[in-house]
Amino acid sequence: MEMDLSQIKHYLDQTWKPLEKNELYASNRPILLTNDPNEIKESLDKTLPLKEDQFSNVLHSFNKQILPYINRNTDPRFGAYITGSGNRVAAIAEFIKAFYNQNGLKWNNSPISSELEQLVIQWISEFVLLPDHGKGVLTSGGSMSNLMALHFALATKFPKREMTGFYGNKPLTVYCSNQTHSSIDRAMVFLGLGRDHLRKIDVVGDYRIDVSKLRETIEKDLASGFQPLAIVGNAGTTNTGSIDPLNDMADLAAEYNLWYHVDGAYGLPAIRVPNYEHFFRGVERADSVIINPHKWMYVPFEASCVLLKNIPKAIHYSPDYLFTENADERWESSEHTIELSKEFRALKIWFTMKYYGADKLTHFVEHDILMTSYLADQIGVLKNMTVDPHHPLSILCFRYEDPDLNSAENDNINIKMIRLIESRGNVFITGTRLKGRIHLRVYFGNPERKKEDVDRLVEEIRQVNAQVLLE
């Protein structure tokens, strides 16, 4: 089966154009049509299809049963989770990928998949100004990438664990701030290290890790018979976008001979923005770094990346049915990662970087930061709205704070606002907790967002606040 470009055009004519014209996906439709699971379940035809059908009929069913409930994550009104906007060029790449159905389980099963993955990893490392971290793997997302980074730490520090496990070893400990993404907790579980051995260090006022407390905790663990394994730094936290003092953490990792990992899944592309590189000083000293192209590089899901200076061979085992000649000359990702079957993630990253180029992508990131600053200014003039001052990247937290009410009463108002915003569906933002208090939280990661879109978001927040206060 071969592909001709006319097939791509035919596909686009039948899918994208109807989507753009469909009133259920129009710009004035809610971002989130419903938050009722039963409504969605009832809309779906649950009968198992037994006979083949025409593609036009399948599209008709899609338009009726599925399209109305697709969240408008690519719309400028979306400002919730750290979800990249994607791009249409990479969507074409996804169609091509699915058409040719490549599986990078072995080099000879898809040579171009294996080689292109290594190329785009080198490009990504250069994009974030880390050309020495040109080794690594593509994964599904930041959770898997953080898991793999700690897996590589274990493979490097304890090469015998492949056969013997950790039986008889001192308990291993990992260190991070209390603002670190929950995927590190999950990695501790799935690697068998245990969440009890993840040390979450307090942060200072700007949500960056307290380095003095980090040192104290490491010293205490050493004195108590634990074996410190790794330090995890943040290059853009999920809550506020804060960036840890990465260079100071690198100093500690070097002093105690620990693996140093930096989670830059969201924030690291900002290193290219003028006058921002200094915020990330020290990331170049990390043993492993993660970045999610499907976030601030605007690649469609799923696409995450682990970057390393040197990638350890973590699995010295290959079954007979996967034997190939010239293995030493070929990159076999299965010798390093959890996956055997592996989709062709590199293609959409290659399309994105070739089409837009590093300079344009950097401009998009800078635009998101500028729109976030504009949002902060507009929210700040609303009555009793308090904007958290620490928003270095494109995440903004704020809350309603009436000085005549106590903290719990103000929290209740903010919770009601979050719920009402979701039920109205005109915009989509989320909530979080900072310093023990409920905040509304907005993330910007869409280069198509304009000031008018921000103004629309601010007006929605004003209306929702007024309605809640009337209740």
Ordered per-residue pLDDT tens for the chain, 471 residues: 455 656 665 655 655 555 555 554 455 677 777 778 888 899 899 999 999 999 889 888 988 898 888 888 888 888 888 887 888 888 889 888 888 888 887 777 778 889 999 999 999 999 999 999 999 999 999 999 999 999 999 999 998 888 888 888 899 999 999 999 999 999 999 999 999 999 999 999 999 999 999 999 999 999 999 999 999 999 999 999 999 999 999 999 999 999 999 999 999 999 999 999 999 999 999 999 999 999 999 999 899 999 999 988 877 777 766 776 666 677 777 777 888 788 899 999 999 999 999 999 999 999 999 999 999 999 999 999 999 999 999 999 999 999 999 999 999 999 999 999 998 989 999 999 999 999 999 999 999 999 999 999 999 999 999 999 998
> What pLDDT, on a 0 to 100 scale, did the predictor assign at position 414?
97
Residues facing residue 220 across a β-bridge: none
Please tell me the number of Cα atoms within 13 Å of 89 on its side-chain side: 14
d(CA 366, CA 119): 26
Angstrom distance (rounded) from CA 235 to CA 318 = 36
Q: How far apart are CA 397 and CA 446, in angstroms?
A: 18
Q: Is the dihedral of CA 229, 133, 202, 245 positive or negative?
A: positive
8 Å CB contact between 375 and 224:
no
Give the per-residue pLDDT at 4.
61
Domains and CATH numbers, the chain: 93-353 (3.40.640.10)
- Distance between CA atoms of 184 and 288, rounded to whole angstroms? 14
Nearest to 193 by CA among 156, 150, 148, 146: 150
- Cα-to-chain-centroid distance, residue 181: 10
CA distance 330 to 217: 43
The CA-atom distances, in angstroms, between 236 and each of 212, 263, 304, 392 are 20, 8, 15, 9
Other beta carbons less than 10 A from residue 136's beta carbon: 29
Question: Which tokens is 438 given?
Answer: 């409920």
Cα–chain-centroid distance for residue 271? 16
Backbone φ and ψ for 430, nearest 5 degrees, come out as: -125, -175
91-to-22, 43, 107 alpha-carbon distances in Å: 19, 27, 25
- Give pLDDT, residue 6: 62
| First and final C-alpha spacing in the chain | 62
Q: Which two tokens stand for residue 330?
A: 């070929």
Give Cα 455 to chain centroid, integer Å: 26
* Cα–Cα distance measured from residue 320 to residue 80, given in angstroms and rounded to the nearest whole number: 48
pTM: 0.91
pLDDT given at position 303 = 95
d(CA 407, CA 424): 26
